């Protein structure tokens, strides 16, 4: 369970860094995402999920 909390903390730290360093670019990225069809966003989400699971699987064995 502590690994889950560590992973969530890392996600928040990385996202926070992006918003802190480039808030304008993040706003623009969100605007562009709003214009994408749901299927494209869903495909990107599934790809990110698969990559994340593979990374965890490789690291944790």
The closest alpha carbon to 32, from 23, 41, 42, 43, belongs to 41
Contact of 27 with 34, CB cutoff 8 Å? no
Q: Per-residue pLDDT tens for 27-49?
A: 999 999 999 999 999 999 999 99
Q: What pTM, to 2 d.p., does this model score?
A: 0.74
Q: How far apart are CA 27 and CA 46, in angstroms?
A: 23
Residue 42 burial by Cβ neighbours in a 10 Å radius (0-12, 13-18, 19+): exposed
pLDDT at 3 exceeding the cut of 90:
no
Contacts of 33 (CB under 8 A, 6+ apart): 41
């Amino acid at each position: 369970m502590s690994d889950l909390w560590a992973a969530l903390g890392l996600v928040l730290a990385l996202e926070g860094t992006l918003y802190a360093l480039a808030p304008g670019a993040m706003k623009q990225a969100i605007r562009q995402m709003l214009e994408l069809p749901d299927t494209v966003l869903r495909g990107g989400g599934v790809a990110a999920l698969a990559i994340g699971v593979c990374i965890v699987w490789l690291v944790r064995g």
